[in-house]
Chains A and B, each alone.
Chain A
Amino acid sequence: MRKHLVVGAVVAVGVLAAACGGSPKASVQTGGVGTAAAPAGGACKVRSIATPIDGPQTGSSVALVRLGARKVALVADEDARSIIAVDVDKNVELARTRLAGAPSQLVVTKDGRVVTLLRDVSKVVVLEAETDSGALAARCDAKAPADPVGVALGPDEKTALVTGGFGHTMRAYDAATLAPRFEVDLAREPRAVVVSDDGRTAYVSHAVGSTVTAVDLDARQVRAMNLHGQDVQEASVASRFQKHLSQLKAQKPTPEVRAQIESIEAMIKMRGAKDAAKERRGQSCQGFALAKSVRPLGRVLAPAVFVDPGDLENRPEGYGDDHTPTETPAIAVIDESTGRPVEESLTVSRQRHFKQVDPRDHAGECLLPRAAAVDPTSGSLLVTCFGIDAVVAYDAASITPERTERKRWQTGAGPTGVAVDVAGRRAVVWSQFDRTVSTVSLETVAPVDEKKNPDKAPQKLSLAPLPAGEKLPAEYALGRILFHAAGDGRIAADGRACASCHPDGRDDGITWATPEGPRRSIMLAGRVAPSAPYSWNGDNPDLHTHIGHTFDRLGGAGLRSVELDSLITYVTKMPAPPAFEADSAKVARGAKIFASKEAGCATCHSGGALTDGASHDVQSKAKADKGKSFNTPSLHLVGGTGPYFHDGRYKSLRELLRKSDGTMGKTSHLSEADMDALETYLKTL
């Protein structure tokens, strides 16, 4: 089994950037719409009447607080660039607090402060509620890691941890002052973060890369955990070998028995030998959520999706093997005591015969899990799922939670967060795409005869429409829903969504077997619009053609033209992650090398899109490739899109620069410092 042992660079950040320490200044109109901007020099703690309800100290796009006599859901509304307060008992919207950016997550401290992340401007902001109106006042803010997407508090709430998605970092702050404490480098696209009960370890999920990271908060060291699925048939054979071995070992050790033991042990060893091909066919992605089990303690539950991209030495008709499911939902169980996922939770059952007999029973799998929370009373793990727009309850204590669906409730479109009101026996779900707050009853988390006991439909509240100038264009909004439509036969016959391979508009980091040969998924966010022609072969002149071909390969029936237009609008306008920041002198030096004739990078990577729009043979033809020329990819955001090349052969930019020398530009003449500068420059594109 491949070990992802990554010891991240620990970067001392120093105490700076937090604009804290002065007098408070409320800037929110109560009972309506207000704007919260942190005053310069504002104190991080003045006075808040908010108290968190059953706070798991883990960020979400929705948090429950008590404001005086009210139970209030605070919702991080990215589209409105606001935090919206909703009275969950009366099901009414209370107030909107405008922010200086789009909030991704929030968490409420025991002393009532609301810590939120502004994703597009990379800031962390602290707000307080002075009254029960639901309006919040910003107290202080600090620079966050690029693309902040996840926040959690330590058990003593002295530390707040923030993950930066595209910035692939986690930064620790003093929760009282927002003074940064330290930062660690992580693998690609970290998302959710939870802290162990003893406060010593932070677990971080990753949207791509088959990984969950454990960060030792004392030693500030990073350990990546391999999250690869194992086919249940393989597991079954292995289990039988082990069983047979134990039986033999319990017998009288005759020479015959000893010979059998030796033979079985040899087979076990052989099967356990590193098999990259098998591992490659059990990759995982969609790690957007994490939740800590409450009963029993000591388990972290990590919803994900196992991906089988097919045999790269074959050319199937579509993306991935023609005969096995490509995407299988899973929930990994991480044992905090060992810091590893339990093997049984990583088994993938792709057996068709144990699936539903009648395809009309297909309830829609959770292929795009986005948020998770635990209801301790029913012992359920609640997972919100894009695409099927539902919150699904699983048995949180099972060793294979994904196989234990208890119940599901429909929510609004694009459920990004869930919070549990334990005493109120309900869960509140925030759905970003249609801006609704759904409240589902947790009274009965078990199946009932719905004809005799109709289940209470979730109570839904549509938030007040945004003013004309702030509203998302209808085309873009529709495109976003279509992009995340899982189980939609118009897009893919097997239920995959666009977001399955392009989570958050990024790429899944996976090389797929395709009819043309092995192909890396490509990053879309901020990269698509100017980079025609499309596909690695460059044979699709425009996006309409390219997406049409993609649907064909996915076995999708295709969208109506107005829907296709909307999807293209979304794909071309989805928010791009922020570029990396780097030492300007180094960047300038790297830019010079890039443009130099000796290096030759700019010969092909030219123009605003950093591509010449042509195909070249850079001697990278893989065994299953039909052709040998490949379209020059845009280098926008290239720093966060590894592994590289059409077949993902290079794990890092540095490896690419070294190993492609002579076939794609020249780098052998560069000193280590030059190479470093060139790599740094590339990361800023």
Chain B
Amino acid sequence: MSIKTTLGLATVTALSLALGVAEVAHAAPASPGLWSELPQTSLPPAPKTAAPARILGGERVEGVTLTSPANMGPEGMVVLSETPPKGKEAAHKRNPFGEGFADTCFTRGEPQGMNRDFTWTDGSDARMHLMRSMGVMPVRSEKLVERDGGATLSVTDMWIDAVTLGARAIGKRDVTLKQVGSGPGDIKLYMMREASEASVLVVFPKSQKFIPWQLMGEKSDGTIVHSSGCRHLRVSLAAEKGRGESVVVRAPSVLGSEPVDGAGEKERGFPERQRVRFRTLLVSASTSWLGKDPEPVVSFSVGWEGRERSVERVVGLGEE
């Protein structure tokens, strides 16, 4: 399936579950010195050591669950996801692919070079599908926690064994994020910085119950970054002297909904319907550090991509 088709379907799928709260906000202009104001962190690189031969099946990492879907058979795929809330374990086991946004995103490490070093891949998934044949591999989980107007990214690196379903933590770090902007539909932009990189997080509202199946961003060097099923997409931009980097993220924004007058449908027992208004935002962020800049310049902006559209949905469908 082409990316274009995926996006189209994703939007439709997403909107069938949409329940949005329209809110007007705006993005602030780039401000000199923003780089210095960004929380600084240092996330460890992907492991430089060879993967352990095996992780015992009983080993666990808090907050993540490895499930072997019953219909996949003993040699089939396993699913890595955030641990389901209490009372939902059985449902999760039946359908680990789940629905709705997840707060946690997973990124896999891939072996690179001659020394068995790993590097983190560009994409991230709320539910990571792993083949058993992949054995033991490093995985990073990033859980977004929004609280009291601020946000934290809880980053845990771990080894995952797709054969035994064991997981062993390598390290954990909680990173404070700075909100730098927002857009209609309560879409927020957070940022943090590492040594020579800025991290941009485009975050969807939790209340939206709205899954853009794939959040996609295109970096200025042509790299496509994506996150599937997650509430956020994190993109790293280089902040090195003499150059710059940017990303544009396509983010469908739900602007609100209004009841559809069904001409007595409710009385006749038909389900309640509503019309959901949405419009796609292009969220962009850039880092650059040119000759006259005392420090890297961080900027961002939000703009509409196209016209507003709307879809009808049945109230309650797909919501728990």
Contacts and interface: CB of A to CB of B under 8 A. Distances in A.
Interface of A: 232-233, 235-239, 244, 247-248, 251-252, 254, 256-257, 260, 295-299, 333, 335-338, 342-345, 347, 349, 351-354, 356-358, 360-363, 377-380, 394-400, 403-407, 444-453
* A298, A342, A398, A444, most chain B CB atoms within 10 A: A398
A550 B293 CA distance: 48
Contacts of B233: none
B139 interface: no
A452 B253 CA distance: 15
Interface string B283-320: 01011101111000101111111111100000000000
Given A295-B30, A344-B243, A377-B29, A357 B221 contact: no
B281 interface: yes
11 contacts: A239-B221, A251-B115, A257-B115, A296-B290, A338-B291, A344-B221, A354-B248, A400-B220, A404-B301, A447-B303, A449-B256
B151 to A, nearest CB: 21
A540 B239 CA distance: 56
Contact of B284 (A347, A379, A403): A403
B281 A397 contact: no
Nearest to A448: B24
A386 B181 CA distance: 31
A380 B284 CA distance: 14
A399 B2 contact: no
A298 B287 CA distance: 15
B270 to A, nearest CB: 27
Contacts of A444: 26
Contacts, number: 209
Contacts of A378: 29
A447 B300 CA distance: 13
Contacts of A354: 216, 218, 224, 248, 250
Given A360-B307, A399-B246, A247 B113 contact: yes
Contacts of B293: 296, 298
Contacts of A448: 24, 26, 184
Nearest to B7: A357
Interface of B: 2-4, 7-8, 11, 22, 24, 26-27, 29-32, 112-115, 117, 119, 183-184, 216, 218, 220-224, 242-246, 248, 250, 255-256, 277, 280-282, 284, 286-288, 290-293, 297, 299-309
A395 B284 CA distance: 9
A395 B221 contact: no
B293 to A, nearest CB: 5
Contacts of A406: 27, 301-303
Contact of B246 (A248, A403, A450): A403
State the 8 A-B residue pairs at the shortest beta-carbon distance, nearest first.
A337-B291, A361-B306, A298-B292, A236-B222, A399-B244, A379-B29, A397-B299, A446-B26
B4 A395 contact: no
Contacts of A336: 291-292
Contacts of B255: 449, 451-452
Given A407-B303, A452-B22, A395 B220 contact: no
B302 A399 contact: no
Contacts of B306: 356, 358, 360-363
Nearest to B295: A296
B222 A233 contact: yes
B183 A450 contact: no
A351 B11 CA distance: 20
Contact of B30 (A298, A337, A397, A447): A397
Given A257-B113, A397-B299, A235 B3 contact: no
A296 B297 contact: yes
Contacts of B292: 296-299, 335-337
A500 B106 CA distance: 47
Contact of B243 (A297, A342, A351, A379): A342
A248 B222 contact: no
Contacts of A405: 282, 301, 303
Contacts of A296: 30, 32, 290, 292-293, 297
A507 B303 CA distance: 34
B184 A398 contact: no
A362 B305 CA distance: 9
Given A399-B244, A452-B22, A342 B288 contact: yes
Contact of B4 (A233, A298, A349, A352): A352
Nearest to B11: A357
Nearest to B29: A379
Contacts of B282: 403-405
Contacts of A407: 303
Given A352-B4, A407-B303, A447-B302, A453 B286 contact: no
Contact of B304 (A251, A379, A447): A447
A362 B277 CA distance: 19
A379 B302 contact: no
Contacts of B242: 335, 338
Contacts of B22: 449, 452
Given A298-B292, A361-B305, A379-B299, A453 B114 contact: no
Given A235-B222, A342-B244, A344-B245, A247 B183 contact: no
B184 A449 contact: yes
A398 B301 contact: yes
A83 to B, nearest CB: 33
Given A236-B221, A406-B301, A399 B288 contact: yes
Contacts of A257: 113-115
B115 A397 contact: no
Contacts of A251: 113-115, 117
A344 B246 contact: yes
Contacts of B117: 247, 251
Contact of B222 (A333, A347, A397): A347
A476 B316 CA distance: 60
Contacts of B113: 247-248, 251, 257, 260
Contacts of B221: 232, 235-236, 238-239, 344, 347
Nearest to B23: A449
Contact of B290 (A256, A342, A356, A449): A342
A399 B220 contact: yes
Contacts of A351: 218, 222
Given A232-B221, A296-B292, A446-B27, A404 B284 contact: yes
A201 B315 CA distance: 63
A451 B305 CA distance: 16
B24 A451 contact: no
B220 A356 contact: no
Given A260-B114, A353-B3, A361-B305, 4 more contacts: A357-B4, A380-B29, A397-B30, A448-B24
Given A343-B243, A353-B2, A451 B308 contact: yes
Contact of B248 (A357, A360, A379, A403): A403
A354 B6 CA distance: 12
A645 to B, nearest CB: 36
Nearest to B25: A446
